[in-house]
Amino acid sequence: MMLGAWTLMASLLLCALPVLAQDMAPAEDAAPQDSLDRALTQLLNQIVPGEILSAPEKVSLEDTPSDAGTSIDVAWHISASESIIPGSVVKYHVMRAESPDSEFVRVGTVPAGTASYSDDGTEPGKPYWYKVKAVGVDSETASEACGPGYSRMQWFDRNRWNVLVFTLLTCFLVIIFIEIAKRSKGETFLRRLPVFDAIDEAIGRATEMGKDVLYIMGGLDVDDPQTVASMNILARVAERTASYGTKLNIPCIWPMAMSMARETVKESYLRMGRPDEYNEDDIYYLTTDQFGYVAGVDGIMMRDRPAANFYLGAFYAESLVFAETGYATGAIQIAGTAEIDQLPFFVVACDYTLIGEELYAAGASLSGDPIQMGSIRGQDAAKAIFFVLIVVGVILKLAGIDAIEEWLSIG
């Protein structure tokens, strides 16, 4: 890069000499600095960017860390032309070849000012050569070929080792508390949330009024953990509706979630010894369209006026539409989601709300199974450790020590 810079400076000075001589002669009474500025301005105005574009220098190649072996990081020093005359380089093309003598093919383009590029189209262990081409308004200059560079496959993502440590720690604590719960023979204590009593209350009210219970599993399919958590709660709700003989109405947004809900509810009715009460058609598909589904569910609420509405799962813009329509019909409403931005809407419009982690814990809590409740105690123990870490981290940060912050950073 330095060679390019000196070449450019020399060219500039050679071009500048006549201008400087002409300009400095009559300037005996003017400040020398003003004359120099005027001369340089004139000089820069005369420069056509394409004429003196210098190539990017010091191109270097490095295997992209912690990847599948399909990427090489290319870095370079930006063109000296760009350093001296901003705007003279418009963009850089990154060119690749499989040997230094073969044709270099463009694999990527970055804007001027950028000095790196990740080429993620490589094969592990294969040699590659690279050139970086500075592209100006009407000219371009390529660097020397650099290579060979190799991409290598990694078996462990080193950027995530701290995540692995804390995941293992949390798993370890959960398993330990499950084992403790197994040995304590049904004596696991867990503070009971008011919402769990409200579930019985809501279903009881629907039974007394002779109306349906409406259950909405959220807007995502079964690959989302919130839908799975909702399914666990649905199993407990279905056990209650089976016991009370109340109709459980479940319109679904995803066909696969519908199938899973059918199996879950069917198993609950079987567990409660009421298979005859189970009606497959009470769990049905509406549409995968978000607001089409909202319209369908709102219509059901306004026509059937269910006495208890459950909104448990992943919700987005539809959350408030559901909750406010349900509020207008006078139903008891129990909601829960891990979508933080939707929580305020549910808190305002529903009678009870499961906030974040409570959604995941509710299925285990409602089961009354001491082993499942033990897992929640393990999760709480992990939370206590994180709490201590956060407090210590804040104190250390205030003292100017970044150790914990750096330790917990990813990437």
- Dihedral of CA 230/234/235/237: which sign? positive
Does 155 bind another protein (CB under 8 A)? Our answer is yes
By beta-carbon proximity to another protein, the closer residue of 6 and 387 is 387
In which residue are the tokens 């390019």 written? 4
Does 86 bind another protein (CB under 8 A)? Our answer is no
Q: Is 365 helix (H, G, I), strand (E, B) or coil?
A: helix
Per-residue contact flags (x/-) with another protein for residues 311 to 350, judged by CB under 8 A: ------x--xx-xx-------------x-x--xxx--xx-
- Helices (H) and strands (E) counted in the chain, each on its own, are 13, 14
Number of Cβ within a 10 Å radius of residue 250? 22
| Residue 62 dihedral angles phi and psi, to the nearest 5° | -150, 140
* Segment 211 to 250, residues that bind another protein, using CB under 8 A: 221, 223, 225, 228-229, 231-232, 235-236
By beta-carbon proximity to another protein, the closer residue of 53 and 235 is 235
Query: How many residues form the binding site for another protein (CB under 8 A)?
Result: 88
**Which run of H or of E encompasses 252?**
strand 248-252
By beta-carbon proximity to another protein, the closer residue of 22 and 290 is 290
Stretch that binds another protein, among 32-40, 135-143, 198-206, 289-297 (CB under 8 A): 289-297
Among 2, 144, 184, 291, binds another protein (CB under 8 A): 291
* Segment 158 to 187, residues that bind another protein, using CB under 8 A: 160, 163-164, 167, 170-171, 174-175, 178
Helices (H), 93-217: 161-183, 194-209
User: Measured from the CB of residue 137, what is the shortest distance to another protein in angstroms?
Assistant: 36
| Cα separation, 53 vs 394, whole angstroms | 50
Per-residue contact flags (x/-) with another protein for residues 107 to 126, judged by CB under 8 A: -----------------x--
Half-sphere exposure of 229 (CA within 13 A, CB side): 23
- Per 3-state DSSP, what percentage of the chain is helix, strand, and coil (rounded to 5)? 50, 20, 30
User: C-alpha distances in angstroms, 254 versus 270, 329, 376, 380, 410?
Assistant: 24, 25, 29, 33, 34
Q: β-strands 213-218, 248-252: how paired? A: parallel
Number of Cβ within a 10 Å radius of residue 21? 10
Per-residue contact flags (x/-) with another protein for residues 346 to 385, judged by CB under 8 A: --xx-----xxxxxxx-xx--x-x-xx--xx-xx--xx--
CA proximity to 249, closest of 310, 322, 197, 317: 310
By beta-carbon proximity to another protein, the closer residue of 291 and 407 is 291
By beta-carbon proximity to another protein, the closer residue of 51 and 221 is 221
Does 157 bind another protein (CB under 8 A)? Our answer is yes
Give helix 225-244 / helix 255-271 axis angle, nearest 10°: 40
| Residue 248 dihedral angles phi and psi, to the nearest 5° | -110, 115
Among 75, 90, 198, 285, binds another protein (CB under 8 A): 285
Among 86, 113, 121, 255, binds another protein (CB under 8 A): 255
Stretch that binds another protein, among 7-15, 81-89, 203-211, 253-261 (CB under 8 A): 253-261
By beta-carbon proximity to another protein, the closer residue of 187 and 281 is 281
Structure tokens at 275: 């298979």
User: Measured from the CB of residue 382, what is the shortest distance to another protein in angstroms?
Assistant: 5
User: Measured from the CB of residue 225, what is the shortest distance to another protein in angstroms?
Assistant: 5
* Segment 49 to 78, residues that bind another protein, using CB under 8 A: 66-70
Does 307 bind another protein (CB under 8 A)? Our answer is no
| Residue 404 dihedral angles phi and psi, to the nearest 5° | -70, -40
Does 36 bind another protein (CB under 8 A)? Our answer is no
User: Measured from the CB of residue 235, what is the shortest distance to another protein in angstroms?
Assistant: 3
Q: Is 82 helix (H, G, I), strand (E, B) or coil?
A: helix
